[in-house]
Chains A and B, each alone.
Chain A
């Protein structure tokens, strides 16, 4: 059973910055292929929906009037006396934006801030993996005072910028993160949403669904703390850090009701997000190493798995 941390203890005194350098080392070499063919554009590592004349042959197509004569396979024409166009797949980049929830509920459990630490490491790790694939990566942090945006870039220093932005962020407040995902959807073809879904989850789901319909690849990483899944058995008057009006006694008798309600909510959330086409994953603090989490999320699935 998880140990309960005293909420009044100084957070700054006990929170330790994750070792990003070790994480970046451990995720080096991991590739993160797109789940489906990406739109054409700047040549990159992902299969593009565009078919062009690259060296990677795909198929022949009979010549139609208007086709470029230079794409006719003359050798085949000589053998078969028929004109065919040689087709090949295009490769393109996939701009990726990490949307990080920096609400007060992510600053849990105190004082280690396990949820925030895991979310930050997942964000940096996934950004590094995307960057390894030569994709532009950006970051949107939905925090109380403002929405911090780092537009998707391919340059090497973008990871450092992201680390700095995350380090400067102190998760607090109960601001919505829907605007953050909307902003990310305008910039990127792949969005990674890292949150605990305890904020504006309905609006967030609607916004993510729209993005999926628009052809975006949306990843949702649900961050959970063990203390939330298995709260202490002693009687504690628990309060919601985002909603001060919620202050309830978690007694041994109320614990079963809590576990049932929380489990049902998790199942419903996973179902709803998966149904909407979002690639939903759960990350529990302390359950696995951050680089394993990154590998799990970046593992080829769908089209990429068969490419």
Chain B
């Protein structure tokens, strides 16, 4: 047993001692007696302070001491000190869209997990599984959002802090397909905070089923200015989609590439016509920003956004292009008008914008495996992280604290009743002309 904030408990000990001391110093009306020469006694108040050899209101004193000690102990957050083992694991379990074989990943994690290990499930965010993680591992739900190893590593540091009292060394185990999209620029620096090597368990990801990419294609009329842009975008990496400028788009044709419906004049898929057309000064897709005047005719209602992913936005935040996943690929609906005049279509930023719109589907992006060097940096080197590498946690919950607080409240209520009864008894005794009265 140890206290997270022992100062409160020591303070309550001092207060309890003071309470006990006060119970030995009582103000009472002393025993009565007859003295014919009482007139020569100085006329002082009839109550006198006296030191008692033992407190007469023992129950009241015990209740008060219990209130103080229980409240102090509750504030001091007592925890049961766990026994320390040689090694514990923090297992990072990838539940993002990068995982194609979820059962294989579950089996891997279940095989690695030992009692009292910490499990961190992560996709775009990370959460430490509290309590018995076996059930959580078995029932883990896999999401369609991008994984983020940086967030997972930060959570791992937190989990390591919670394990520092249970183990001398802590091993970091990452069970993931290690997709490229899961690593970002902060990953290396966050990884360096973990002072030890990590064991990487690579499960089969969607990337394993990736096939070779095709070049950007466009289906349009002869004098469509976007043809020029599409041609220039072919040279940019990742532009593999198919732009359809006129006619209906059959999602079945999406295959495993992005099918981009970008009508020249018709209504884009899911879009509705604006009641009032306006002009906006820019649009952004991925890292590609285009600053130009666009006349907005179409807008995407909220219902259409639901179930889709916004791949381009106007600079006021409204969606400019949506992506809807299909069985094999995705269909994108683009509501960005392309003016037949001007140099927009040959501007470099617009070319990059088109390439970004014609990029891989989100599901395909998730399939791409991170490069070997990044994965090697993630694995790190050296031994296991020592427990001293982790700061003690300040947010450890004390399971005993609520109970102690409840005991304190119950004792306080009991003290109130006992005190009231005692006061009533004292009043009755006084009316019965019994001289001694306890008034502490």
Contacts and interface: CB of A to CB of B under 8 A. Distances in A.
B40 A236 contact: no
Given A243-B39, A251-B44, A265-B40, A237 B34 contact: no
Interface in A222-275: 225, 227-228, 231, 234-243, 246-251, 254, 257-258, 261-262, 265
B435 A262 contact: no
A165 interface: no
A4 interface: yes
Contacts of A254: 41-42, 44
A262 B34 contact: no
B382 interface: no
Interface stretch (B24-32, B121-129, B208-216): B24-32
B43 interface: yes
A112 to B, nearest CB: 13
B48 A251 contact: yes
A241 B44 contact: no
B42 A236 contact: no
A257 B42 contact: yes
Nearest to B50: A235
A132 B50 CA distance: 57
Contacts of B32: 7, 236-239
9 contacts: A227-B35, A228-B36, A238-B32, A238-B41, A239-B32, A246-B38, A248-B38, A262-B37, A265-B40
B369 to A, nearest CB: 92
A241 B42 contact: no
B40 A258 contact: yes
B36 A241 contact: yes
B44 A236 contact: no
Nearest to A229: B37
B36 A237 contact: no
Interface string A1-20: 00011110000000000000
A227 B435 CA distance: 21
Contacts of A258: 37, 40-42
Contacts of A250: 33, 35, 38, 41
A265 B41 CA distance: 12
B48 A238 contact: no
Given A108-B36, A254-B44, A258-B42, 12 more contacts: A104-B36, A105-B36, A228-B35, A234-B31, A240-B35, A240-B39, A241-B34, A248-B46, A249-B46, A251-B30, A257-B41, A258-B37
B33 A7 contact: yes
Contact of B38 (A110, A196, A247): A247
B48 to A, nearest CB: 5
A198 interface: yes
Contacts of B40: 258, 261-262, 265
B248 to A, nearest CB: 107
B43 A248 contact: yes
Interface string B174-216: 0000000000000000000000000000000000000000000
A236 B30 contact: yes
Interface residues of B, number: 22
Contacts of A234: 30-31
Interface of A: 4-7, 104-105, 108-110, 196, 198, 225, 227-228, 231, 234-243, 246-251, 254, 257-258, 261-262, 265
Interface string B28-71: 01111111111111111111101000000000000000000000
Contacts of A246: 38-39
A261 B47 CA distance: 22
A236 B435 CA distance: 11
Given A237-B30, A238-B34, A249 B48 contact: yes
A236 B39 contact: no
Contact of B44 (A4, A249, A262): A249
A227 B43 CA distance: 19
B35 A231 contact: yes
Contact of A247 (B36, B46, B47, B50): B46
A90 B31 CA distance: 62
Residue among A238, A242, A261, A265 with max Cβ neighbours from chain B (10 Å): A238
B393 to A, nearest CB: 57
B44 A237 contact: no
A249 B38 contact: no
Given A246-B38, A258-B40, A236 B33 contact: yes
Nearest to A265: B40
B42 A237 contact: no
Nearest to B28: A235
A157 to B, nearest CB: 34
Interface in B220-246: none
B33 A235 contact: no
A237 B435 CA distance: 9
Given A7-B32, A236-B32, A248 B37 contact: no
Interface in B93-133: none
A162 to B, nearest CB: 24
B28 to A, nearest CB: 9
A43 to B, nearest CB: 44
Given A247-B46, A248-B46, A236 B36 contact: no
Contact of B30 (A110, A225, A235, A262): A235
B48 A198 contact: no
A231 B35 CA distance: 9
A254 B39 CA distance: 12
A199 to B, nearest CB: 10
A110 to B, nearest CB: 6
A240 B36 contact: yes
